[in-house]
Structure 1
Amino acid sequence: MDLPLSGRLTRNIPELKYVNADNVARYRVIMRFFYEEYKRLRYWMKPEDVYNGVMRWGALPDYTLEQCMADLAQLEEWGNLASRHDAGRATTLEEYMRKKLQYLLTPYSIEIERLLESLEKVTGYGGSLEPTLFDSIAEKLFAIRRMDWDKEPGAALELWTSLHDAFKRLHENAADYIASMQTAKAEEMMVTESFLVYKDRLTHYLQNFVQALQRSAYKIEGNLEQISANLRDMFLERVADEELDRPRLEDVPDKASMVGELRQGWSNLDRWFRGDGRAPSELALLERATKDTIARVVRSVIRLQERKRSGVSRKKELEHLAGWFARMERLEDAHRLAGLVFGLFRTRHLQGEDLRLTDRADQSMWDEEPTVRALRSRSRKRIGRQETEPVPEHAERKRREREAYRRRQAEEWAVMQDLLRRGKLVVSELGVVPSAVRLRLLHWIGRCNASPRHSFMTPEGVVIAMTNPRTARRTILRSEDGDLELPDYEFVFAMEDAARMAAAAAEGGRGE
């Protein structure tokens, strides 16, 4: 169920201005002093007490009482502090002339300072995997099914609070812990030798969590299925009534909105464990992410062990193996031993000419003449100086390419001369044209459309202009490789000098 947006959600929060204000150091020290005194159950503070406490910390060496009073007034204006008149008796004239006030932290400011205190302790994602939370959630849902909350007042609210807190801790801590395993710091740690000592504890920790998840998931899903909609609504109504029965000095919330929030929380719990039918549940995603993390840990450990093993000398093992091969009397036994020790070698395809000296079909491949092929060494060691190879000569290939290019140029120029004699070309008047002509025509259309004057000049000095770029007529250009529908464009052709003379004559006619 979607809850309507309240005014508190969309309003501006002036209480946060002191965190990024110009005098942020002064405001932060004052607010932290108020918060520390609040935890000691000291609520109303005088400006002198605030100033003395701030100066004891030594964070503001040049601070004055006047600046402190101005900062307190500013914090009150932003809504961080509430003030009242100090009815105490003045002992000096200065105290009597000065307006005496006492200040108190507002609820918003308490939560802001509590958040800032938590943020100061954040060094990473943190989090943890607590398998006992699954059992706790299953027990709370089973208690709801048995209606244990209906026997004594306040039991429903306590049961819901325990259930919601356990679910929140499970979701947030597990998400944070799995996220911490995806960071660059975790990747760097998994490639160090010290990770081999840590991997057993980590793998055991993840495996215990997965086992508890698989063991308790069915209990939780079964309890959620057994709790009907009527029982759920009855329980949440009871929770809302017990919450409203608490004595409050603030405004009493509306019961309908409170029940709506409780139903939304229950819906989140149900969707997290059972899904919504369109996508897998968050529980399944958490299980998959945990298993993927275990797999990443195992792969990292295997790579580390292989790298560590690669640096160990195997001289004694190879000497023992060489002696084993030396004691073999038959070649077939040596082949079998090699197959057992080394396994199948990787297949390599070598290119060469098959020089057969006989056409006998029964001749073995081992009796054939070998094909000699030089292999380049893959060793990084510097080998002896090799003879330099001459640069290959490609004059003949260049000559063939040059002649082919000239033939194409001659053909294109012949086509261009024919067009110059005609002076004009309309797409609809063309018959079936070769594919090369179609490609050249599409090239002209693209060049003309890209030009502001809808014309361009070829390297031979021929000016090709499109006279009707915005025509609405359509036609079919038929070619050897298919038909193409396009606008019925019209082109005119002229040499560069003739085009200039025609443009000058047109300018002179417009001038007259």
Structure 2
Amino acid sequence: MDTVTGTIRQYDVGQINTGECVSTDQLTVFAYLTAEKAERYRQVMRAFLHAKQRFVLHLRPDEVVTSLHDDGTAVDRDGVQTLLAQLVEWGNLRADPDTAEVATVEEFYRARFLYQLTLEGEAAERAVAHFEDLLVVPGELQTSALADIQELLAELLGLARAEAPDPGKVHRSLTTLTTRLEELTDRARTFITGLQRTVDLHGIDLEAFLAYKDRLIEYLERFIGDLVVAQGRIATLLADIDAAGSARLLALAAERDLADRLEVTEADRAAVHARWSDRWAGLTAWFVAPTDDRAQADVLRERARRAIPALLQAVSQINQRRVSRTDRPADLRTLARWFAQCPSDADAHRLWRAAFGLSPSRHLKVDGDTLDARADEPVRASISWLDAPPLQVSPQLRRTGHYVRRGRPASIVDRSAEKALLARQAELETAQLADARAQLVTDGTVRLSELGHLDPAAFGAFLDLLGEALSASAPGVAGPDRAVRVTSADGGLEIRLTPTDDDRQATIVTTDGALIGPDHHVAIVDLTGTDLGRPRRATAADDVLVPEEVGA
């Protein structure tokens, strides 16, 4: 009964959590993790946590035994009773008198308790479970999270424009939004960090690695494309929410957090408001670049792009090893196994001399006069360097560290056919790029809906330009300052993009389908200053010509 009383005193009204720091006594709930029977304690705590998830508040010792048996753990009732008593002493469990009717005399005289998780015990077990989940959670680039964030921001925009937003809906949307963004950030960081460690270049099968490489590059390119499109839309939604009154939504969410507290001080209210303001500022900085910094979405996109060349470099290293047939780490590992298999030290010494040949002085390359002198007067390998005559090393070897052997030089491999193939491929790529530029260059400013049909090469170049322009747009800016001007990665094309503000939709037809989105005024200019030698791509504006142009 003293144990029960002591446990109940922990929940005295004066000790209700009011946001103060956790005391040292409360940290004893983690003692079961380092105890002698840590695994058994973990099993018991998991049994209580699973019971609570099924809305079962109390468990008897027999029920704990049954739960452990169902999980494949053989333990008797006395052993469970000892574990439960120790967990009660640490503060993980709470023991209440079991007032149920007894069936035998032994049960009447035996102290019987009902056990349930304490607040500290549940928090400790959930913290350990969360720790284990973080270690095994896979890294990934969540395209679905970007779509969820857009939907949640659209809901918040509707609530911000309402006269009396529902505080519950506002709090739920903001909480889900921050949780989804944290999950996106954590999974992306885990994926990018472990990308270089995913492939073991010494042990993976070549065909499996090439298949993995293709899937990974496609995976990265798809995420980068989705991130570019989603970043522009999310930035626009954030600007619209700020204009409609994001501060009011944050205040409603903060008050919702404080609604169930017994006593609320001004310090509590200020801390909760500051926490929600920081979350919103971090969300905005993730997608919209601050004045003197870069957006986190831009940083993630850059790191994902850098992963593709690193993967291709790994492929190049594999191909180089296949061609040269040399692998220094593999050779050293094989030699280490040979040393381990030597039956005696003498055999190990012979293997050392055969592998490295560093014992005698004859491993040096010397000039012809020295070789002739040594032929006339041989010097045994066992003679000390101090007693042996000096070696006349070639001045070229002493000066440069290289020695050119005498005789016929090695044959030069004719690479003219390979060079011609590379030249033809470069010429073909240049022609494709010039043709794509000729299709994209516009005569002045046109609408996106007037671009017409684009072939795959021109459409790919146009998507790159459009993505850079949309990501560089500044949401919330009105007037002529909304125009965006960016150049392509190679500096050959410039796009000038301005919203039309008329809610019209643009459709761009390609070989693989149609791209549909908000219409914009667009002007694409060739910055190379060269005549491409191809007629300008026709637009819808070319259907109406003045007589002078027809005559020309």
Specify the alignment match of 1:7 in structure 2: 20
CA offsets per residue over residues 422-459 of structure 1, 9 Å max, x none?
xxxxxxxxxxxxxxxxxxxxxxxxxxxxxxxxxxxxxx
SS of equivalent residue, structure 1 residue 304: helix
Conservation of the 8 A alpha-carbon contact between 1:190 and 1:297: no
Specify the alignment match of 2:373 in structure 1: 390
Q: 1:31 aligns with which of 45, 51, 58?
A: 45
* CA 1:190–1:55: 2 relative to 1, 3 Å: closer
Specify the alignment match of 1:78 in structure 2: 90
RMSD: 3.8
Specify the alignment match of 1:453 in structure 2: none
Deviation at 1:19, TM superposition (A): 0.9
Deviation at 1:290, TM superposition (A): 0.5
Which has the higher Rg, Structure 1 or Structure 2? 1
CA offsets per residue over residues 332-382 of structure 1, 9 Å max, x none?
xxxxxxxxxxxxxxxxxxxxxxxxxxxxxxxxxxxxxxxxxxxxxxxxxxx
* CA 1:291–1:90: 2 relative to 1, 3 Å: same
* CA 1:108–1:244: 2 relative to 1, 3 Å: same
Alpha-carbon distance in structure 2 between the residues aligned to 1:241 and 1:153? 8
Deviation at 1:118, TM superposition (A): 5.6
Q: 1:138 aligns with which of 150, 163, 171?
A: 150
Alpha-carbon distance in structure 2 between the residues aligned to 1:394 and 1:186? 48
Specify the alignment match of 1:281 in structure 2: 295
SS of equivalent residue, structure 1 residue 17: helix
Alpha-carbon distance in structure 1 between the residues aligned to 2:391 and 2:116? 94
Alpha-carbon distance in structure 1 between the residues aligned to 2:294 and 2:23? 32
* CA 1:46–1:124: 2 relative to 1, 3 Å: closer
* CA 1:57–1:223: 2 relative to 1, 3 Å: closer
Specify the alignment match of 2:184 in structure 1: 170
Give aligned pairs, total: 315
Specify the alignment match of 2:522 in structure 1: none
Identical aligned residues as a percent: 24
Deviation at 1:156, TM superposition (A): 0.9
Structure 1 position 224 matched with structure 2 position 238: yes
Q: 2:63 aligns with which of 46, 49, 63?
A: 49
* CA 1:272–1:75: 2 relative to 1, 3 Å: same
Specify the alignment match of 1:155 in structure 2: 169
Q: Judge which range, 32-41 or 179-188, deviates more.
A: 179-188
Deviation at 1:20, TM superposition (A): 0.9
SS of equivalent residue, structure 1 residue 102: strand
* CA 1:178–1:186: 2 relative to 1, 3 Å: farther
Alignment of structure 1 residues 450-465 onto 2, 5 Å: none
Specify the alignment match of 1:22 in structure 2: 36
SS of equivalent residue, structure 2 residue 141: coil
* CA 1:52–1:197: 2 relative to 1, 3 Å: closer
Deviation at 1:194, TM superposition (A): 1.4
Specify the alignment match of 2:285 in structure 1: 271
Gap runs ≥5 in structure 2: 1-17, 326-367, 375-387, 393-552
SS of equivalent residue, structure 1 residue 155: helix
| TM-score computed with the length of structure 1 as normaliser | 0.53
SS of equivalent residue, structure 2 residue 286: helix
Alpha-carbon distance in structure 2 between the residues aligned to 1:57 and 1:166? 33
* CA 1:31–1:134: 2 relative to 1, 3 Å: same
* CA 1:203–1:98: 2 relative to 1, 3 Å: same
Gap runs ≥5 in structure 1: 312-384, 397-512
SS of equivalent residue, structure 2 residue 114: strand
Conservation of the 8 A alpha-carbon contact between 2:139 and 2:188: yes
Structure 1 position 127 matched with structure 2 position 100: no
SS of equivalent residue, structure 2 residue 96: strand
SS of equivalent residue, structure 1 residue 140: helix
SS of equivalent residue, structure 2 residue 174: helix
Specify the alignment match of 2:112 in structure 1: 100
Alpha-carbon distance in structure 1 between the residues aligned to 2:96 and 2:391? 100
Conservation of the 8 A alpha-carbon contact between 1:191 and 1:304: no
Conservation of the 8 A alpha-carbon contact between 2:62 and 2:77: yes
Alpha-carbon distance in structure 2 between the residues aligned to 1:220 and 1:158? 19
CA offsets per residue over residues 160-211 of structure 1, 9 Å max, x none?
1231122122111111111221326555577844111122211111001111
SS of equivalent residue, structure 1 residue 240: helix
Deviation at 1:111, TM superposition (A): 4.5
Deviation at 1:243, TM superposition (A): 4.2
Conservation of the 8 A alpha-carbon contact between 1:274 and 1:281: yes
Alpha-carbon distance in structure 2 between the residues aligned to 1:156 and 1:50? 41
Deviation at 1:390, TM superposition (A): 3.4
* CA 1:273–1:10: 2 relative to 1, 3 Å: farther
Alpha-carbon distance in structure 1 between the residues aligned to 2:59 and 2:369? 90
Structure 1 position 203 matched with structure 2 position 217: yes
Deviation at 1:153, TM superposition (A): 5.2
Alpha-carbon distance in structure 1 between the residues aligned to 2:369 and 2:228? 66
Specify the alignment match of 2:453 in structure 1: none
Conservation of the 8 A alpha-carbon contact between 2:157 and 2:244: no
Conservation of the 8 A alpha-carbon contact between 1:156 and 1:242: no
Alpha-carbon distance in structure 1 between the residues aligned to 2:264 and 2:58? 25
* CA 1:251–1:168: 2 relative to 1, 3 Å: farther
Deviation at 1:256, TM superposition (A): 3.5
SS of equivalent residue, structure 2 residue 373: coil
Conservation of the 8 A alpha-carbon contact between 2:370 and 2:391: no
CA offsets per residue over residues 85-106 of structure 1, 9 Å max, x none?
2121222222222222101123
